[in-house]
Structure 1
Amino acid sequence: MVADVAAHPYDAVKRVVDLVSAGIGLVVLSPVIGVVALMVAVKLGRPVMFAQQRPGKNGRIFTLRKFRSMLDVDESKGLVTDEQRLTSFGKALRATSLDELPSLWNVVRGDMSVVGPRPLLVEYLPRYTQEQARRHEVRPGITGLAQVNGRNALSWDSKFTLDVKYVDTRSLFVDMRILLDTVKSVIAREGISADGQATMPKFDGTADD
């Protein structure tokens, strides 16, 4: 568990912006969410949702929800690794970030923010340095500074440096700029995966730059 930190002046405003934007997003995008859910059921099977425990603000655990983008593990069919389980349809979901749409509900609940460091695996918590752990001083985001500056093509050290930079510089202007850059990154389909990986190699706690 990461120690609680003092509130930032922007955080109260940010929470209101999150509630309004995520609420409107869920309503406006409900037809898209319905279509994607149906396509996931047809292409990948059920359940259509991927649910996993992730650490949020101050390291508190919540259940992250996304559309699934991989087939189930099936050794008899050679579906074991992420690369083997990730279909072209799943790759398209990730490239367009449509798999992230259910996370808007996490924003409404207060587990996440629209903008912030991405929520990573619970097992990473004890592997962070004290400085890296500062990424948990804010709610995790659907998109963030690292996502618009290389996404999964970045090294872990570079990602964490950008996460902490966001913690220190967060403001309405910064969030608006990240959202604009997110749209550009999605259109350009930049940084979807690291070289030779379906997404990213696991973080083992060592420097990798």
Structure 2
Amino acid sequence: MLKRIFDIVVSLTALLILSPVILATAFITAINLGRPVVFTQIRSGKNGKPFKLMKFRSMTDERDEIGNILDDDVRLTDFGKKLRSTSLDELPSLLNVLIGDMSLVGPRPLLMEYVPLYDDFQKRRLEVSPGITGWAQINGRNSISWEKKFELDVWYVENQSFWLDIKILFMTVFKVFKRVDINGLDSQTVQKFAGSKKTL
């Protein structure tokens, strides 16, 4: 209950205080990438329940000659890279927190197609609401392997507390200003999870 109250108060306050930044980001995104400025995608929430995640767009909709969407690395623009490096693309997700789809802190919400690939240990990350930031984000973010991310996610599930959430939020602010661990190990975007050795 305390966590939910905290999520509502902080997300609502942040939306109000950051409204000029949100509007400016939306305007600049529209100029650079066109409309819609907000990207939505179905992700897995608590207990694997699907919800529609909201973020500012950072990619184009470019397709090949037969209509297939191009790889993320090709569609991610220089503007999109800067948007991600500042984490401004995450601001619309505060609405997800406000309405209860997400929490400020928790395992990152991943694609629904990943859920069947989780082993029993990895599924434990679904026991709590997903977060805008989390234990894995301040301990490597996109620079660590999928298996390590899941280990950190489950550690959070087993050790979550209000004070741990506060620590994670403060560390997230530090990471954002330092702009570290933004990209994946081998690309500007994160490689898709295809199942670990345990699940294949």
Instruction: Tell me whether the two structures share a fold, i.e. TM-score over 0.5.
Output: yes
Find the residue that maps to 1:22 and give its secondary structure: helix
Aligned counterpart, 1:4: none
Distance apart, 1:196 and its partner CA: 2.3
Matches within 5 A, 1:10-159: 12-75=1-64, 80-159=70-149
How much identity, in percent, do the aligned residues show?
Answer: 54
Does the CA-based 8 Å contact 2:122-2:150 persist in structure 1? yes
Post-superposition CA distance 1:36-79 (Å, at most 9, x none): 00000000111101001111001111100000101112336xx8
Per-residue CA distance 1:87-107 (angstroms, 9 max, x = gap): 111011111110000000000
**CA–CA separation in structure 2 for the residues paired with 1:207 and 1:179:** 32
TM-score scaled by length of structure 1: 0.90
State how far apart, in whole Å, the 2-side matches of 1:196 and 1:154 are. Answer: 11
Question: Unaligned stretches of 5+ in structure 1?
Answer: 1-11
User: After alignment, is 136-145 or 186-195 more displaced?
Assistant: 186-195
Q: Look up the equivalent residue of 1:44 and give its one-letter code.
A: L
**Would you say the 8 A contact 2:144–2:185 is kept in 1?**
no
- Any idea what SS the aligned residue of 2:62 has? coil
The whole-number CA distance in structure 2 between the counterparts of 1:194 and 1:59 is 24
Note if contact 1:48-1:67 (Cα within 8 Å) is conserved in structure 2.
Answer: yes
Q: Distance in 2 between matches of 1:195 and 1:119?
A: 19
Aligned residues of 1:157 and 1:207 also touching (Cα < 8 A):
no
CA shift at 1:194, angstroms? Answer: 1.6
Indicate the SS of the match to 1:74. Answer: coil
Coordinate RMSD, CA, aligned: 1.3
Aligned to 2:159: 169
Aligned AA (2:60)? L
Deviation of the 1:119 alpha carbon: 0.2
Counterpart Cα distance in 1 of 2:90 and 2:184: 19
Q: Is the Cα–Cα contact under 8 Å of residues 96 and 102 in structure 2 kept in the other structure?
A: yes
Report the alpha carbon displacement of residue 197 of structure 1 after superposing the two structures with TM. 1.4
Q: How far apart are the structure 2 equivalents of 1:62 and 1:38?
A: 26
Gaps of 5+ in 2: none
Runs of 4+ in 1 over 6 A off after TM superposition: none
